[in-house]
Amino acid sequence: FSGTTMNKIILGVIYGGKSTEHEISILSANGILQQLDTEKYQIEYVYIDRSGHWHRQSHAQFVALVKNPKSDAEGSSRPSMASAAQGRPAQGDALVISLGQGKQSFRRLADGKAVPVDVVFPILHGTFGEDGCIQGLLRMAEIPFVGADVTGSAIGMDKAVCKRLLAQAEIPSAKY
């Protein structure tokens, strides 16, 4: 890991998401972030709103969201159709993943500034979080991440497939 700020590891924390467990993801992120050593990690807050748009947040915006996790983040916006059609960035902090050479990063659409990361901690629950989707996206972008990989996540989310695999391997599991 390169950690460019006084040898800190740049940790991209992703929370929110499109699933019905959106609020739980925010509260989980808060619990995890409270335990992280800020002497060791520089945190980059990456919020996915209910529509699936990605936003870079400040610590203050994250704290406000934790206080009211049922509302989408204040100041979050998505690219306008007019801006996208004209091929120029929209206003707001919507993010895309840069797949360029070298260190991978998230890139802000509004100003084109890169948000380099050493590793991502996806704290997403339910669909598009625990099912292997975000893991596959990060794997494809060659961005290191914390937690189970694509296959393990997908199997764990699909309870019927998981039960069949456990039975085939003769590993006892509860009936369903």
**Span 23-37, pLDDT tens digits:** 999 999 999 999 999
Handedness of CA 163, 138, 42, 17 (dihedral sign): negative
Give pLDDT, residue 29: 97
pLDDT digit string (tens) for 137-159? 888 888 889 999 999 999 988 99
pTM metric for this prediction: 0.76
d(CA 73, CA 65): 6
Q: CA 56, CA 73: separation in Å to the nearest integer?
A: 10
> Taking phi first (over 0 means left), then psi (-120 to 50 degrees means alpha), and beta for anything else, what does residue 103 get?
beta
Q: Which of 38-42, 89-93, 111-115, 116-120 has the lowest mean pLDDT?
A: 89-93
Among the residue ranges 22-26, 54-58, 105-109, 132-136, the one predicted with the least confidence is 105-109
